[in-house]
Amino acid sequence: MSLKDQITEDMKTAMRAKDSERLGTIRLLQAAMKQKEVDERIVLDDVAVVAIVDKLIKQRKDSITAFEGAGRQDLADKEKAEMAVLQAYLPERMSADETLAAVKAIVAEIGASGPGDMGKVMGVVKTRLAGKADMGQVSAAVKAALSGG
């Protein structure tokens, strides 16, 4: 079953269970997926769905930081609950050590050296590690690898 089909099934299950918080989050995800399909006239595959989920999680993290900074714990808790629902659709993430090892292998493979090659390395890394690793960790690993760390 594709990830897209799994999300649709989860929406039906949430409807039957009258789980309004979970249902609302899944509907947000489906709306984002539909928007991408309509805008780009494509049918999403699992990699594209994971990218959308990643983007929505990043938005939730930013919102949580802002809400906690403003003293609105109630809104931060709502965002955390949405983030937990979304994270169920992500594949198992690589550890920081695994990410660094993968990045170092790619840097060696394409012969990159120095911070000037960061764009070239990130282009390759994004295609290979999309959905498998946290992109914040990946960026830090690329900087470390290119600075000889």
pLDDT in tens, 17-70: 999 999 999 999 999 999 999 999 998 888 888 889 989 999 999 999 999 999
Instruction: Note whether 10 and 79 are same-domain residues.
Output: yes
What is the distance between the alpha carbons of residues 40 and 129, in angstroms, rounded to a whole number? 23
Chain-centroid distance of CA 84 in Å reads 12
Instruction: Say yes or no: 65 and 12 in one domain.
Output: yes
Domain CATH code at residue 59? 1.10.1510.10
The tens digit of pLDDT for each residue in 68-78 reads 999 999 999 99
Q: Are 6 and 88 in contact (CB under 8 A)?
A: no
Q: Tell me, yes or no, if the pTM score tops 0.75.
A: no
60-71 as b/e: b if 16+ CB within 10 A:
beebbeebeeee
Query: Does residue 71 sit in the same domain as residue 43?
Result: yes
